[in-house]
Structure formats: C-alpha cells, structure tokens
Amino acid sequence: MKKSDLKKLLADMSLEEKVMQLVQIPGYEFEQDAAVTGLSDKKSSDKVKRLAGSTLGVWGADKAIALQKRYMENHPHHIPLLLMLDVIHGHKTVFPCPLGQGATFDPEVAKKGAEIQAKEASAEGVHVTFSPMADLVRDARWGRVVESTGEDKYLNGKMVSAMVEGYQGTSLKDKGHVASCIKHFAAYGGAEAGRDYNDVELSEHTLREQYLPAYKEGIKAGARLVMTSFNTLNGIPSSGNKWLMKDILRKEMKFKGVLISDWAAIAEMVNWGFAKDMKEASRLAMEAGVDIDMCTGCYGGNLQNLVKEGKVSEKLLDEAVMRVLELKNDLGLFEDPYRGASVEKSLEVCLCDEHRKVARDAVRKSLVLLENMGSVLPLSSKKIAFIGPYADEKKIHSSWAISGEPDKNVTIKEAAKELLGAGDAELKFAKGSNMLLDKTDIGSGVFEADDDSNKELLEEALDIAKWAGEIVLCLGEDIGQSGESTSRVDIRIPAPQKALFDAVCNVTDRSKKKLITLIFNGRPLDLEDIPQKSDALLICWRPGTEGGHGILDVLTGAYSTSGKLPVSFPWSVGQEPLHYDHYNTGRPKPKEGQTIFSSRYLDCPNEARFPFGFGLGYSEFEVSAVKLSKKKLSKDEDFIEASVTVKNIGKVEATETLQLYIRDVAGSRVRPVKELKGFEKVTLSPGKSAKVSFRIDETMLRFFTINNKFESEEGKFVAFIGTDSKTNNSAEFELV
C-alpha cells in the first residue's frame, strides 16, 4: 500500500478504530494455549477483541491464519492484526541463551541464529519478535542476565546489531523474516539491588557512556520497534519519560519506528505513584510517544475521552497510529495478511537438520572452559560416569524459549551414548540428586542430609563414581532460577547439587581418576570451591536444542573450546555489581604491599574470580608484545595499527580470541581502567603463527566529556592486546 493510501485509510477511520490500533491484548484471549508472559486479571470486551491492533503469544500457522481471517472479517476497515511473540533465542530450534551467544564473541553466530529463528517463527505466523535485549548487565543477582549478551557495551552492540540484521534481513517484505524489537529502553539492567522491576539511579554521564550505546547500535541496524522498560530512571517511569523517549530515542537516535510498552508498564505508573490513575497514565504515555499499550486497559479505556476532552491531541494520536499502520504495511500484511504462514512450510523448516546443525555449532562456540588441569579434557578414559541432574535433563533451554519443545532437546546422556557409546568406552549415568531442595521455593535453601529421595540418588551416584576412571558432574541452576522475576541474593548452585559434588569429591581419589564439572547457568555464579576441586570446569550456559551434541563435541575433543566469558564471575555475591571496566578510584588497592586505607574488601579480592573475556582452549597460545605503527595519532583521518603475533604452542588446532582494550590515562571525566574496543578470532594449527592487527582511530577515543557531548581529548592512551580483560600486554600512544 502506498503512503498516500495509508493516509486515506487513517482519515477514514473512526476515533475508536484509531485508538484500538494502539491496543495490544494477550493471545490467550484468542487461543487458550497461547503463551502467558505477564499477569492480567481482566478480560477484554468483545469490541476490544474485534478492534485491537495487535496480540502476543500466539504461534502455529493454522492458529495464526484462522485468527487473522476472523479478525479481518470483523474489522470495519479489514486492517490486519499484528502477531508478536517472544522469540528470544529460538523458536522451535533453540540456540544457546543470549548470554551464551555473547560468550562466542562472534556476531555471525548471533546473526545466523536470528535468521533461523525468524524463518521458523514467520512460517508459524509470527510478525514481530521482542528481541534482542540490549540491556547492559553488571549485577548477577538480576534474573534477566540470561537474556543479555553481557557486561560490555561494545560486545553487546555488536551482538545486538547482528541479531537485528538476522531477524529482519534486507527487507521486511521477505516473508522469511520478522520485525525486531529492541528492549528494554532504557537501563533496565541497572535495577537497584539486582531486583527486577526496580528503580534505576544513573547519572546522565553513566547512562550515555555505558547503558545507551548497545540500544543505539540496534537502532542503527534498523530495528523497527523499541520496547519501554519496567524501571524508573532517576524517578521517572520509562513509559512516561518524555526526555528519554522523545529527546534521546526519537531525536538523538533518530528512531522512527513503533514504540511499545512492556507488559502493563503504562498502568504500572499508577503503582509507582507517577500517575494518579490509568487515565493520567495513558496521557503521560502518549505524551512520551508510546505507540502501543501492551496488555492493559489504559489506552482502550481512556484515549477516546482524552482526545475528546482535548487533553491528548488527535494529531498526536494520528502520528502513533500511522507508525503502527506503516509497520503493518512494511511487513506486507495489507497484500498478504497471512504473510506466507503455512503448516507445510512450518513442518519443512522447524527443527530441520540444517537448523540443528547451526545450533550445534553455536553450542560448541559458546562453551567456556575455566579450568583444565593437566589437560584432563578431552576425555580419554574407557570408563566414564555422567552424574548429576543435568546428565539426562531435557530442560536445557531457558525460561525464555517459550515456543521451544523440550522433548526435542538432546541431553548429555543421549549425545554421550551416540558419540561415545559406539566406541569401546563404557558409560554409566546417575542423577545423583534432585535439581532443587524444594520446588515451592527455588532458592538454594538448606540441604537436609536425611532427605530420602536425595539419599537414594546419592548412593547410586557414588557407586558409579567409585567405578569410573573419569567423572563428569552435570550441575547447575534450575530452568526457573534465571529469567524474568528471578532475582537472587544466593547465586550458588542449589544445595542438593552442592552436597552431591562434595560427596563425589570425598570418594574420588584424584591421583587415580579425574573430575570434570559442567555448569548449566543463566548468570555468573558464586562457584564456591568447585573450581579448585575440579580437574576441569566447563560453563555450558542454557545451551538449547543441540546442547548435548555440542557439549559432547567439546568433551570428546572433536572441537576445542573457544568461548570467552561475556560477564565477570565473582568470588562472592557481595561483589555485585561487578564489571571489568571500573574506575581506578583515588586510592586503588596496590598489587603488593600494604593495603590499608585503599579501596578494598577485608574478606574478598576486589577483582573477579574469572574475568570478562577469559576462557581456555585445548591448546596454548603465545602472544607477542604489542607493536604500534606509530606513537602519535592526530584527530583527522589518521589511524594507528596495533598488532601482535600469535603462535599456537600447543598440540592441537584451536581458536583464540584476541581482544583490544584501550585506557584513556586522564580525561575531563574519570575514565575506566580499560575498555574493549575490538576482538578478532584466529584459528591456528600447532606451531603456526599469525599477525593480528587492530585499527585505532580518533572515533574510538571519544567519550561523554565534561562538555556533555561525545568527543575525544588530547593526551596519553594505552592499548592492550591479549586473551582476556586482565592482560597487561600493552603499548602507549598519544592523541595530538
């Protein structure tokens, strides 16, 4: 439909029709088995169901087609319905959770995954995905860490923009793609105390310098929607924050697409005490530029009267409605309201071999090896025991893979039998313990040694532990311990599993058998004594459909680990929020000598236990000193080449990720000790070397200065190149 035709359509619509284009209602009001991703105690009227412009939580080609047909037949202007869904890290083929994808340090992995998710979801009638999440996360207590790609703005920006490109393709007219929604705008990851839906207090400097860049990258990549966040920012709820939504999002970031609230976020402004009632909340949200009200009665029940009373201008309403109509038009819904959805296409693409193959590769690349003492991995014993709740657990996706099918996930046991059982290795499996102490309380709780069910499971596990030459312990968070509304102050693995770990260690003669620990998680964890008691420690995240296959590919040595931590792992939850790019403070803790009257903890190190960017492989790499093409950089088109020579001095081919960090030694505002500015993967055979180079130009040195704008300042800088954020391999240069 031409823009002129859209204008004619808008002009012909009644006030009620216009308002209802901005109303989204839950899919379960149309289909009983639709996903429930929020709370609602109200049922929409028949009129709202007939006119609401969008819904969420419905998928399946037959359901989507039938719903669209009914809706358009009943709509006065036969305008198509928008179908949205949380396709976060997989539709039917589930990829590693976003945090696991961040660990790949490979935007191409994220892009391919998003392409496949879009292909599967669109075949089942989905038009919009509420992904990617661009929130910067630095607090492991926050449950939604699992949905982020990590603690670094540069890495997040690269991954977010890749996902947007993967979801949307080059044109939304392409029926194999979906519209992408950046969320949650803004600074949701900075929730106070790591508690979901909470207040956020950030200076404008920190907001602009750290939290906004990843959203901006997604918008630059062309994301067609942005979602408001649940939190307040400096006392103003995001859905009513005109400065945030109009000045920053619309004017500065030049976002022209649809702005949608998160579930009930407009109505919740009343709970915040920012609006006296839902009518006022509706006015405030419209004035802030929120186009769609997700799953409340705010817009549907109040906007018509607000316009009639002159409290909201019809021009403002028309602008919002036009943005919604333009999205529907760009998706091609006016020409094909079913947008190519078909049962046949769904059966062809969903969980097909090609998609599983890509997901399996993503799992391999996401795994992070934290310990490998004596090169115990890859596995080499002929007698291997797989012990723990995750040894044969189907729920290895996250709570945000809502349209996935857990029964199609490949478990560790299934993959081990397939990839190891065909040889001469003897395998045994035991659950060892319950996943949690009490399903009614998913906190770690206190483990009761006389718990009969755990006692029986433990005895079986210890028997095969004594028999084995190598023990693979499969432990981690329950699927319900990471995700929305799962904030935790205890970020250790559940107590029954820790008791299992301790018991296995007590019967294991480390001189005769090796202990390999796998951790399934959606956040950084306090690993207690697990690292020092394990011969090898592998972080598996929430790996998804091909989790078992990808993990066994690594355990067997068919593929060397290459993942890097996208988040810092603490010694203790008391260190949170924790991130590598901190300030030095006026009294930095000295590396050696007297530490009194310095910035320190009495009972814990300052630094992370396992730092951002860290991850081992099955080989060892030697990195030369940093070489700079010159020592001075001008502010024009000039650049410096920073390079190192990397050599594989190990025994197997492997991939290493070289990371470029830069420190601004002194600025008009305090600068971080270092910031990631680039990364490059290199794959080398034993004995082979390669030169890895990074280009440093003036734009990379800009920050939000004392002048309240992004600009560079002359002075001294340090360029670091290494294999994690703790590297000291560096060289100095000057911006003149």
In this structure, what CATH number is given to the domain that contains residue 406? Answer: 3.40.50.1700
Are residues 416 and 508 part of one domain?
yes
What does 334-390 look like in DSSP terms, one character per residue? Answer: TT-TTTT--HHHHHHHTT-HHHHHHHHHHHHHH-EEEEEGGG-PSP--SEEEEESGG
**Three-state SS annotation for 102-133:** HCCCCHHHHHHHHHHHHHHHHHCCCCEECCCE
Q: How far is CA 717 from CA 640, 675, 725, in A?
A: 12, 11, 16
Percent of the chain having pLDDT more than 70?
A: 98
Task: Tell me the C-alpha distance between 114 and 122, whole Å.
Answer: 12
pLDDT tens sequence across 642-668: 999 999 999 999 999 999 999 999 999
Least confident of 39-43, 441-445, 563-567, 589-593: 441-445
Task: Tell me the C-alpha distance between 362 and 130, whole Å.
Answer: 21
Provide the 3-class DSSP secondary structure of residue 326.
helix
pLDDT tens sequence across 126-137: 999 999 999 999
Task: Please give the structure tokens belonging to residue 191.
Answer: 């929730």
Categorize the per-residue pLDDT at 593 as very low, low, confident or very high, splitting at 50, 70 and 90: confident
Element (H, E) at 215: helix 213-220
Q: Residue 336 CB: number of other CB atoms within 10 A?
A: 13
| C-alpha triplet 83, 85, 86: angle, nearest 5° | 165
| pLDDT higher than threshold 60 for residue 326 | yes
Task: Please give the structure tokens belonging to residue 537.
Answer: 């420690």
- Contact by Cβ (8 Å): 375, 617: no
Q: What is the pLDDT of residue 453?
A: 75
Element (H, E) at 691: strand 689-697
Find the largest Cα–Cα distance for the chain: 82
Tell me the one-letter amino acid at 22.
L
Are residues 625 and 571 part of one domain?
no
| C-alpha triplet 484, 487, 491: angle, nearest 5° | 125
What positions carry a catalytic annotation? 262
Are residues 565 and 631 part of one domain?
no
Task: Tell me the C-alpha distance between 534 and 371, whole Å.
Answer: 8
Are residues 519 and 382 part of one domain?
yes
Nearest residue to 515 via CA among 460, 475, 573, 558: 475
- Contact by Cβ (8 Å): 200, 190: yes
Specify if 346 maps to a domain. no
Q: What is the pLDDT of residue 450?
A: 47
pLDDT tens sequence across 676-733: 999 999 999 999 999 999 999 999 999 999 999 999 999 999 999 999 999 999 999 9
pLDDT tens sequence across 276-296: 999 999 999 999 999 999 999
Q: What is the pLDDT of residue 449?
A: 43
Are residues 642 and 533 part of one domain?
no
Task: Please give the structure tokens belonging to residue 250.
Answer: 């619309």
pLDDT tens sequence across 56-76: 999 999 999 999 999 999 999
pLDDT tens sequence across 416-470: 999 998 778 999 999 999 999 865 444 444 444 446 778 899 999 999 999 999 9
Q: What is the pLDDT of residue 402?
A: 96
Are residues 628 and 552 part of one domain?
no
Q: What is the pLDDT of residue 438?
A: 65
Domain hosting 373: range is 353-575
Q: What is the pLDDT of residue 451?
A: 63
Q: What is the pLDDT of residue 447?
A: 41
Task: Tell me the C-alpha distance between 723 and 116, whole Å.
Answer: 31
Q: Please tell me whether the peptide bond between 378 and the residue prior to it is cis, using omega within 30 degrees of 0.
A: yes
Task: Tell me the C-alpha distance between 185 and 189, whole Å.
Answer: 10
- Contact by Cβ (8 Å): 207, 187: yes
Instruction: To the nearest 10°, report the CA torsion of 645, 679, 641, 165.
Output: 140
Q: What are the backbone dihedrals phi and psi of residue 514, each rounded to the nearest 5 degrees, phi first?
A: -110, 145
CATH code: domain of residue 634: 2.60.40.10
Task: Tell me the C-alpha distance between 18 and 16, whole Å.
Answer: 5
Are residues 413 and 535 part of one domain?
yes
Q: What is the pLDDT of residue 441?
A: 47
Q: What is the pLDDT of residue 440?
A: 46
| pLDDT higher than threshold 70 for residue 401 | yes
Are residues 628 and 560 part of one domain?
no
Domain boundary among 540, 575, 610: 575
Specify if 593 maps to a domain. no
| pLDDT higher than threshold 90 for residue 511 | no
pLDDT tens sequence across 74-108: 999 999 999 999 999 999 999 999 999 999 999 99
| pLDDT higher than threshold 80 for residue 10 | yes
Are residues 443 and 372 part of one domain?
yes
Are residues 506 and 450 part of one domain?
yes
| pLDDT higher than threshold 90 for residue 40 | no
The stretch 362-388 carries a mean pLDDT of: 97
Using a 10 angstrom Cβ sphere, with 0-12 exposed, 13-18 middle and 19 or more buried, the burial of residue 456 is exposed
On the CB side of 272, how many CA atoms lie within 13 Å of its CA? Answer: 26
| pLDDT higher than threshold 80 for residue 265 | yes
Q: How far is CA 202 from CA 211, 218, 248, 642, in A?
A: 9, 22, 15, 34
Tell me the one-letter amino acid at 85.
L
Task: Tell me the C-alpha distance between 581 and 674, whole Å.
Answer: 6
Q: What is the mean pLDDT of the chain?
A: 95
Are residues 634 and 540 part of one domain?
no
Domain boundary among 518, 551, 575: 575
Q: Residue 706 CB: number of other CB atoms within 10 A?
A: 10
| pLDDT higher than threshold 80 for residue 41 | no
Are residues 533 and 446 part of one domain?
yes
Q: What is the pLDDT of residue 439?
A: 52
Q: Are strands 639-648 and 621-623 parallel, antiparallel or unpaired?
A: antiparallel
- Contact by Cβ (8 Å): 173, 123: no
The stretch 498-503 carries a mean pLDDT of: 96
Q: What is the pLDDT of residue 445?
A: 44
Element (H, E) at 623: strand 621-623
The count of structural domains within the chain is 2
The stretch 561-578 carries a mean pLDDT of: 98
